[in-house]
Structure 1
Amino acid sequence: MFTGIVEELGEIVAREPLADSARLTIRGKLATSDAKHGDSIAVNGVCLTVVDIVDGDSFTTDVMGETLARSSIGGLDVGSRVNLERAAAVNSRLGGHIVQGHVDGTGVVVARTPAENWEVVRISLPDNLARYVVEKGSITVDGISLTVSGLGADDDGDWLEVSLIPTTRELTTLGGAPVGTTVNLEVDIIAKYVERLTHRG
């Protein structure tokens, strides 16, 4: 379980293709500082399992073919920067919202509108996820817990907007993601449970 508060920007330093998966080596000094085999670390919002620690500042992880195909992880290569968050401790503050690290789909950055002290980022929203997203609700974008500041639709389909403060722009990959970038989306798990319970009622 995670909170969507990115702890550091990491970097993919190696990628080894396997038969139906890939092994990534990711450098992240903070994320690796207390990591051990079997621990969970969110990489761009995808919950991955630590396989080994390398040189004290990097970890390896195996990514299944399904994850590569269904998330933006498949498009990352050596040199790519990634958002890292260690699993939340039971006694830690919930600074963002409840994040599982289970990506529901991907969107694409379609526009960026800068302002004096923030920037509005518009992201395409897959049809099957739109019903779970509400204005002022929570959304996880590449592992970042964000508040939905706008919703709408145009000829290309549904979209959502999030507003980035300077800290988020500086300390996460979304801050510098150009238009056209594919991002991982995880909707609020509570919305999915409510839908399931309502339909079964």
Structure 2
Amino acid sequence: MFTGIIEEIGTMKRIDRQGQAMVLTIGARRVLEDVKLGDSIAVNGVCLTVIAFDGGSFSVDVMPETFRRSNLRKLSSGSPVNLERAMPLNGRFGGHIVQGHVDTTGIITARTPEENAVVFRLEPREPDMLRYVIPHGSITIDGISLTVVEVTDRAFTVSIIPHTLAETVLQYKQPGDEVNLECDVLGKYIEKLLAAGSVPGSGVRSGAGGLSEAFLAEHGFR
């Protein structure tokens, strides 16, 4: 698990690709301080497993599903990438719950300065994911934990402070660029439970239609 607080910007040193499978070798410093084989490192928000490392870089496998779902397929030698190690149990929870499991990608459609901030507008490749995005809720963009400003039926916006812009790959992103998106996992679990129509441990089911106003009234929520 991650928190969406980027530790450093790494540099793509080598890409070995066979079809939709890749091995990425990434130059880094801070995330290598205590690295071990099998560790998880989020690369642009994608949880990947370290398969090799040396004093200045590490390598990870990218499987076809990850290749298709994320923007890792568009990386080239020299590309900057956001890096974050998995959260230690005794660490601070600086962002929000981030799994490193990309839901879809999005296209930046606008980048607008607003006093000390920069507002990014993004359109998801799969607009249906916007049902999980709420104003002032959390979303992960290329591994960065951010707060949503506004949501429409096609897009959403986030406002970026100078520190976040300077410390992440967002500083390089322009309209037309593709980024990885991961929704807040809590919303997805709640939706799944409601769609199943059951109240865990109660023996009560709400029926095929899921949770409804009538169901709530029937069970004392008036």
Taking structure 1 as the reference length, what is the TM-score of the superposition?
A: 0.95
- Does structure 2 retain, via aligned residues, the 8 Å contact 1:9–1:82? yes
- The structure, 1 or 2, with the larger RCO (C-alpha pairs under 8 Å, 6+ apart) is 1
Q: Which residue does 1:109 correspond to in 2?
A: 108
Q: Secondary structure at the match of 1:131?
A: helix
Q: Which residue does 2:200 correspond to in 1?
A: none
Q: Which residue does 1:150 correspond to in 2?
A: 150
Q: Which residue does 1:186 correspond to in 2?
A: 182
Flag the 1:5–1:103 CA change in 2: closer, same or farther, 3 A: same
Letter in 2 for 1:128: D
Find the partner of 1:200 among 196, 199, 202. Answer: 196
Q: Which residue does 2:39 correspond to in 1?
A: 39
Q: Which residue does 2:136 correspond to in 1?
A: 136
Between the aligned partners of 2:127 and 2:194, the Cα distance in structure 1 is: 20
- Does structure 1 retain, via aligned residues, the 8 Å contact 2:149–2:157? yes
Between the aligned partners of 1:175 and 1:148, the Cα distance in structure 2 is: 18
Counterparts of 1:28-107 in structure 2 under 5 Å? 28-54=28-54, 56-107=55-106
Q: Secondary structure at the match of 2:152?
A: strand
Q: Secondary structure at the match of 1:31?
A: helix
Q: Which residue does 2:161 correspond to in 1?
A: 165
Between the aligned partners of 1:137 and 1:116, the Cα distance in structure 2 is: 22
Q: Which residue does 1:18 correspond to in 2?
A: 18
Shift in Å, 1:175: 2.3
Flag the 1:30–1:115 CA change in 2: closer, same or farther, 3 A: same
C-alpha distance after superposition, 1:160-180 (max 9, x if no partner): 100000001101111220110
- Does structure 2 retain, via aligned residues, the 8 Å contact 1:50–1:60? yes
Shift in Å, 1:19: 4.9
Q: Which residue does 2:119 correspond to in 1?
A: 120
Q: Aligned-residue CA RMSD in angstroms?
A: 0.9
Taking structure 2 as the reference length, what is the TM-score of the superposition?
A: 0.86
Can you give the 5+ residue segments of structure 1 that lack an aligned partner in the other structure? none
Between the aligned partners of 1:178 and 1:127, the Cα distance in structure 2 is: 20
C-alpha distance after superposition, 1:114-173 (max 9, x if no partner): 0220010000022220110000000000000000011124xxxx1010000000110111
Can you give the 5+ residue segments of structure 2 that lack an aligned partner in the other structure? 198-222
Between the aligned partners of 2:20 and 2:151, the Cα distance in structure 1 is: 37
- Structure 1 stretch 109-118 or stretch 14-23: which is displaced more? 14-23
Structure label with greater radius of gyration: 2
Between the aligned partners of 1:24 and 1:94, the Cα distance in structure 2 is: 28
Runs of 4+ in 1 over 6 A off after TM superposition: none
Identity %: 51
- Structure 1 stretch 185-194 or stretch 166-175: which is displaced more? 166-175
Between the aligned partners of 1:59 and 1:174, the Cα distance in structure 2 is: 22
Letter in 2 for 1:118: A
Shift in Å, 1:113: 0.7
Instruction: State how many pairs are aligned.
Output: 196
Shift in Å, 1:18: 2.7
Structure with higher strand content = 1
